[in-house]
Amino acid sequence: MILTTTFNLLRDAAFDNNSYKKLREELDGVTDDAPINLLTILELCGLKEAIWALRVTEQNCDKVSQLMASDFAQEALPPWKKYYPNDNRPAEAIQAARDFANGLITKEQLNIARAAAHAASNTASYASAASAAYDAAAAAYFAAYAYYAAYFAAYAAGKEKQEQIFRSYLQQ
């Protein structure tokens, strides 16, 4: 999927000032309303800014954001399973987020999985996986904030893997 934004949208949404200036310099001659591919933002400004730009795409990217957040959260599961091999709540919340994004379950079903992941994150000493799972499930539930979960769940995955996941959604 090709996702684009514009300088106007980035500016109006308070895109990071330094990144905005850098993008302006690199894309000299691009008008305020001309589309800017999010992969261009990834290349020029980095992953954090590209994920942030999901919030102001010209296209509806809720599903992409929800699935991306789920993939980022999935990357946190191996350490979780190491410490809590019998606790499937984070994995179930991640799957629920995917299922909701794909229209396979209701908000109520997602909310149950989200609450379970939240409980896991509150009770676990190794909580990053559970927190990432909770973020992914919460994002799917609150679609308008899907980019937030992608942004926060990204910290659970390694930078190289994050970029690979981000590119995989935007090159399809």
Instruction: Give the mean pLDDT of 6-12.
Output: 93
Highest-pLDDT range among 74-78, 96-100, 125-129: 96-100
For the cut 60, the answer to whether the pLDDT of residue 156 exceeds it is no
**What is the token pair recorded at 140?**
């799917």
5 forms beta bridges with 36
Residue holding tokens 């020029």? Answer: 44
What is the enclosing helix (H) or strand (E) of 4?
strand 4-5
**Interval 31-56: pLDDT, tens:** 999 999 999 999 999 888 888 888 89
* Overall average pLDDT of the 85-114 stretch: 89
- What pLDDT is recorded for position 160? 75
Lowest-confidence range among 5-9, 18-22, 66-70, 79-83?
Answer: 79-83
Report residue 51 as tokens.
């994920």
Segment 136-151 shows an average pLDDT of 55
Question: Quick one: residue 46, left, alpha or beta (phi over 0 = left, psi -120 to 50 = alpha)?
Answer: left
Asked whether the beta carbons of 57 and 6 are under 8 A apart, the reply is no
Q: Is the pLDDT of residue 142 over 60?
A: no
For the chain, which residues make up each domain, given as ranges?
Answer: 4-56, 62-143
pLDDT tens digits, one per residue of 65-78 = 888 888 887 877 77
